[in-house]
Structure 1
Amino acid sequence: MIRRSPPPRTVATLTALRRAARRVADAYGLGVETRARLAVSVSLAAHTWLAGHRTVSLAATRDDNTLTVTLTCPPGADPPHPSRLPLPAEFGPDGTTRWHLPLPPRDAPAVDGDDDQTESELAAVLARMDTLTVDHARLKDELDETNSGVLALYVQLEERDEQLRRSHGQMLRKLEDALRPAPLTVPGLRLAVHYEPAETDAPSGGDLYDWFVLPDKIVHITVVDALGHGIGSTRTALSVTHTVRTLALEGHPLEDIVRRAAENLAIVDPDLTATVLLARLDPRTGELHLANGSHPPPLLVRRDGHTRYLQVSGRGVGFPLPGSEATLSTHLTPGDLLLLYTDGLTESRKNPVEGEQRLITSALRHREQPIDAIPRAIADEMHGSTVLHPDDTLALALRLTPKPLD
């Protein structure tokens, strides 16, 4: 049975205060764990005051199903921080500290004797620790299982992402192949090209080329560098190459094609801007003719190692007064290497002049390689160091065979 509530007690030591708190807990049938928390809480709340050899009082009142335990210290006593108390408490300005504790549904037997009380509280603490240990082990096992599941899901997502990347890459390569002209097989001439977009997730950019054979067996080559990057600039470059091809097949003189292309395209898209390089080569004689619209000059590497940039003045599509101011004519011999390119090859650093000199050095180093390997080898070397200005890059190499066929 619940014993009668002990009267308020005034105590001067922590031991006496703990004993009073335990008697209150026993009187109202509080559980062992609650009793232990209450004893520790009142000790912490009164510790500073009792350390100064002063007294405090402890009282208990019952209201329906709530027990209120009140610790009274003289005004001016500093209460402990609430986080330090095992049981939440209210601190009053008059020096009181109150705990509001729910009463158990049934009376509990009282426990007599401080030793028995201490042992039962320790047993409750140990039991609580055992329960927490079991819960901790269970939660750890669950966490390990969850982590294993997350790791497996992560691996699956990585595999799926890799599959998507491969599929995306295959799709982009097919799209890029669709944008390029078919390989050109011409007796006495070998051609090779390497393209590298500035944006790794775009299949193409503004750098594009076109090659075809005219009715008189002359090989026509167009190199275009449209303003911008990505698919939008690809559309611009396609418009230029298609327009140039139409004009060339209609028989317009080489020196007029850049201007006519600019005039025709201005009607369709006044904002279209691109540089254009046109080359006409007769593989039977080696005669080469160039027209230029604001495009970097081709590099000619003779078989004996002499080099020359083939400069032709002109302004590109979308520029003021577009057109090639003249045409340049020269003669290729078997073994000579001609390199046509876009500015992404030489202007990856701050100094384009330095880039042109590096291109000469690289072309001389790789000119003896098979023609199919030269454009990529030069591009890799030109971009092998720090690239300050990433840009679409196109490199096109051509060379007459030692014994051209008719």
Structure 2
Amino acid sequence: MSRKCPTDDGDELLARLGSLTSQARRLAELQRSRVELAIALQRDMLPADMPTVPGIHLAVQYSPAYSGLNVGGDWYDAFTLPDGCIGLSVGDVQGHTIDAAAFMGQVRVGLRALASVTSEPGELLARTNDLLLSLGADLFATCTFMRLNPSTGSLESARAGHIPCVWATADGKSGVSEDEGGPPLGVLAGAEYPVTRYRLTTGGVFVLLTDGVVEGPSMNVDEGLDQVVRLAGIAAVAGMEATSLATAVIKNAERVGHEDDAAVLVVGHDGRNVQP
């Protein structure tokens, strides 16, 4: 009976290890390519510019996650509506894949397109929900949409399963919005989205964000929101610029562990162009 010598066994083992190493390298390169593609999709689908309106200050910060394939579908958006108001939205698509990033683009474009038909936040979210359901996608999205009237400072807000916004006023008051909200987009046919009205007062700010900013391994969502409330309150009293506040808030993502995308949209008002 013939037997392989130890040298032959060693050569075979080395060959197998070499093959496995080569396969692992190819998989790593493929994964890296997918992440880079998803990040590119995100960046291309997010708005390059914010509306410019006297008295209104808009600032955004966005930090994608880079762990494995954890590149999801968070977004922010701000655009001028047909009636001269400003549409504001932030949202988060379920999942962390290229599909999630692509679906984010569909939701954001759908919101913009339907806003030309109706900018009433509750009706807009309802129509967007119906649109997504008609596409038959397996994904869903949470979202907040606000309509801001720059001349009066009035804000109308509707939420679709999204975390609440944070607000602060120049007289030292601050807190978390308490609007009722409805289910995520793309889940329930015929869903309704109640509208809550606020007022952006002189020196006040509203902070729209995604859960990657306030929730992670190191901090729960309530603790994270409390941190943003504190930052917004300080910023409003001190007259801090919207850009500086957005930068301070996005750093909160580092404190919570930041395993998810993180998006921040700050809306501030300096009092100009506001009717009493």
Partner residue, 2:73: 206
Out of 372, 381, 397, which is 2:243 matched to?
372
Partner residue, 2:44: 178
CA contact (8 A) 1:310 1:328 kept: no
* Structure 1, unpaired ranges of 5+: 1-167
CA contact (8 A) 1:366 1:378 kept: no
CA distance in structure 1 between the aligned counterparts of 2:59 and 2:70, rounded to whole angstroms = 19
Task: Write the letter of the residue equivalent to 1:192.
Answer: A
Secondary structure of 1:383's partner?
A: helix
CA contact (8 A) 1:198 1:390 kept: yes
Out of 242, 247, 255, which is 1:385 matched to?
255
1:399 partnered with 2:255 = no
CA displacement 1:168-226 (0-9 Å, x = unmatched): 99x99876543222332122211000001112688963111222111211001121110
Task: Write the letter of the residue equivalent to 1:179.
Answer: M
CA distance in structure 1 between the aligned counterparts of 2:61 and 2:67, rounded to whole angstroms = 15
Q: Closer, same or farther in 2 for the Cα pair 1:230/1:365, shift >3 Å?
A: farther
Out of 217, 225, 237, which is 2:84 matched to?
217
* Structure 2, unpaired ranges of 5+: 1-34
Q: Closer, same or farther in 2 for the Cα pair 1:366/1:261, shift >3 Å?
A: same
Partner residue, 2:205: 337
Shift of residue 324, structure 1, vs aligned partner: 4.3
Secondary structure of 1:236's partner?
A: helix
Q: Closer, same or farther in 2 for the Cα pair 1:248/1:383, shift >3 Å?
A: closer
- Return the index of the structure with the highest Cα Rg: 1
CA contact (8 A) 1:229 1:392 kept: no
Out of 329, 343, 346, which is 2:214 matched to?
346
Write out aligned runs for 1:73-222 (5 A): 176-181=42-47, 182-199=49-66, 205-222=72-89
Out of 283, 289, 293, which is 2:150 matched to?
283
Partner residue, 2:113: 246
Task: Write the letter of the residue equivalent to 2:228.
Answer: L
TM-score, with structure 2 as normaliser: 0.76
CA displacement 1:107-146 (0-9 Å, x = unmatched): xxxxxxxxxxxxxxxxxxxxxxxxxxxxxxxxxxxxxxxx
CA displacement 1:291-349 (0-9 Å, x = unmatched): 11001111111111211322222111133356443100111112101100011111124
CA distance in structure 1 between the aligned counterparts of 2:119 and 2:189, rounded to whole angstroms = 19
CA distance in structure 1 between the aligned counterparts of 2:138 and 2:186, rounded to whole angstroms = 7
CA displacement 1:48-76 (0-9 Å, x = unmatched): xxxxxxxxxxxxxxxxxxxxxxxxxxxxx
1:315 partnered with 2:183 = yes
Partner residue, 1:357: 226
CA contact (8 A) 1:316 1:323 kept: no
The structure 1 segments of at least 4 consecutive aligned residues displaced by more than 4 Å after TM superposition are 171-177, 200-204
